Amino acid sequence: MRTLHEGYFTAGLVADPELARAIDGELKRQREGIELIASENLVSRCVLEAQGSILTNKTVEGAPWRRYYGGAHYADAIESLAIDRARRLFACRFANVQPHSGSNANAGVFLGLLRLGDTILSMDVAAGGHISHGHPATLTGRDYRIVAYGVNRETERVDLDAVRALAHDCRPRMIVAGGSAYPRGLDFAALRAIADSVDAWLMVDMAHVAGLVAAGLYPDPLPHAHVVTTTTYKSLRGARGGMALWNDESLSARINAGVFPGVQGSVMLHAVAGKAACLGEALRPEFALYQRAALANARAMAKALAEQGVRIVTGGTDTTLLLADLSPLGLSGDIAAKALERAGLAVNKNLIPFDTRSPESPSGLRLSSNAGAARGFGVAEFERIAGWIGRILKAPDDDASIAAVRAEVRALCADYPIY
Ligand SMILES: *Cc1c(COP(=O)(O)O)cnc(C)c1O
């Protein structure tokens, strides 16, 4: 009896035309549009193959060389490789590469180091923090008592005096630093001193700046934080997922158990292989050049947008992302993002600090150079992109202008082909 349909081991996606059509459509979208969303990037063919490999068939649980299931020799080698590379890249002693996402890395660390109901002092989402740091809609927001710090109204930057005052007031068990829409550097030594003064853990979530940290272009949290978490698919330009990194051996058992079995089950070995691949790439000298280019590109884009009347939150950026305040143009982020998408420019609407509008229709846009720099765009290309954005923002309903920009975007993308 034939238990497998024809082509089961050989045919590939052509066996499922409905699905193949959608994936082809997405490939075309990526090829012909400019990706400016900060949580995205363009991975290498090597990462793509590792993540799409037969490793998807293997189930392993627990730590390498101490698995519950057999037949794990290669799985152990792959996960060990990812761990070793993460440790080398960030010059730290320990790494857990299993978290399925950045949120899982955070939840695992919380579970490992905190008790139910403990207080976490983390950055307000409205000020640029991330929902996985205790937003009420998440499990962590329900399990812990969350106190939020924001940014200073004048500088739009984290105000360490305010964080210190809040910490002394709420006596947190953990302080969380890092966010998803915060374009500036952070003083991790000062944050650690604040954490020490109230006997709290310091966790730094470097999801948006991990690539810059690896390249030495952003303050390194690892000498200061008790534990650092990150995603691997944003500025690290790699596989989907997260990691936790730390130096203190006495935390290892708690962090590892927090991740598994704390918040997740078996390892996504294909994703771990993708992490090994991107970490290997990040250890090469070209990666620092990529990060340097991405940073210069983001700064050039910020400057060019400012020249067109967009207000750049904090006046610039120390990272590959920037936050644009559209209120001087009398425009909201949702309307702007929709118009830009029609022109082939993918961005996301975003709250700005002290936003007077709503999360659904905020005042800002978040923009990033990650994917454009991976594609090979330089400062000149990002200045052109900023020019197109300015043109759309001034006339978001002008179909002719959107079509004209769409054509220019397509032409630029054709000059920088992917895959
Ligand atoms: C993107 C991000 C995450 C987590 O992302 P997942 O969607 O769970 O992978 C966590 N923290 C910060 C600061 C982020 O920007």
Q: In the chain, where are the structural domains located?
A: 51-282, 290-415
Task: In whole angstroms, give the CA distance from residue 60 to residue 223.
Answer: 32
* E strands, 124-278, in order: 145-149, 174-177, 201-205, 227-231, 242-246
Torsion of CA 44, 48, 49, 51, to 10 degrees: 130
How many CB atoms neighbour CB 217 within 10 A?
18
Q: Measured from the CB, is residue 256 less than 6 Å from ligand 1? A: no
Expressed in angstroms and rounded, the spacing between residue 145 Cα and the centre of ligand 1 is 20
Q: Measured from the CB, is residue 235 less than 6 Å from ligand 1? A: no
Q: Which atom of ligand 1 is nearest to the CA of 104?
A: 8
Of the candidates 93, 96, 94, 85, which has an alpha carbon nearest to the alpha carbon of residue 63? 96
Expressed in angstroms and rounded, the spacing between residue 207 Cα and the centre of ligand 1 is 6
Per-residue confidence (pLDDT) for residue 69, from 0 to 100: 83
How many CB atoms neighbour CB 296 within 10 A?
16
How many CB atoms neighbour CB 324 within 10 A?
26
Q: Measured from the CB, is residue 225 less than 6 Å from ligand 1? A: no
Q: Is 35 helix (H, G, I), strand (E, B) or coil?
A: strand
Expressed in angstroms and rounded, the spacing between residue 204 Cα and the centre of ligand 1 is 12
Q: Measured from the CB, is residue 132 less than 6 Å from ligand 1? A: yes
Task: In whole angstroms, give the CA distance from residue 297 to residue 306.
Answer: 14
Give the tokens for residue 154: 């004048």
* Ligand 1 atom 5, closest CA: 102
Q: Measured from the CB, is residue 207 less than 6 Å from ligand 1? A: yes
- From first CA to last CA, the distance across the chain in angstroms is 40
Expressed in angstroms and rounded, the spacing between residue 197 Cα and the centre of ligand 1 is 28
* E strands, 107-226, in order: 119-123, 145-149, 174-177, 201-205
Do the domains at 51-282 and 290-415 have one common CATH topology?
no
Q: Measured from the CB, is residue 205 less than 6 Å from ligand 1? A: yes
pLDDT in tens, the chain (419 residues): 688 888 899 999 999 999 999 999 999 999 999 999 999 999 999 999 999 999 999 999 999 999 988 899 999 999 999 999 999 999 999 999 999 999 999 999 999 999 999 999 999 999 999 999 999 999 999 999 999 999 999 999 999 999 999 999 999 999 999 999 999 999 999 999 999 999 999 999 999 999 999 999 999 999 999 999 999 999 999 999 999 999 999 999 999 999 999 999 999 999 999 999 999 999 999 999 999 999 999 999 999 999 999 999 999 999 999 999 999 999 999 999 999 999 999 999 999 999 999 999 999 999 999 999 999 999 999 999 999 999 999 999 999 999 999 999 999 999 999 99
Handedness of CA 301, 303, 308, 314 (dihedral sign): positive
Q: What DSSP character marks residue 108?
A: H
Task: In whole angstroms, give the CA distance from residue 84 to residue 107.
Answer: 23
Expressed in angstroms and rounded, the spacing between residue 234 Cα and the centre of ligand 1 is 9
**What is the CATH code of the structural domain delimited by 51-282?**
3.40.640.10
Expressed in angstroms and rounded, the spacing between residue 153 Cα and the centre of ligand 1 is 25
Q: Which atom of ligand 1 is nearest to the CA of 205?
A: 13
Q: Measured from the CB, is residue 108 less than 6 Å from ligand 1? A: no
Angle at 47 between CA 13 and CA 214, to 5 degrees: 155
* The CATH classification of domain 290-415, taken from the options 3.90.1150.10, 3.90.180.10, 3.10.690.10, 3.30.300.210: 3.90.1150.10
- 234 with 218: CB under 8 angstroms? no
Give the tokens for residue 341: 């998408």
Expressed in angstroms and rounded, the spacing between residue 230 Cα and the centre of ligand 1 is 7
* Ligand 1 atom 13, closest CA: 179
Expressed in angstroms and rounded, the spacing between residue 2 Cα and the centre of ligand 1 is 45
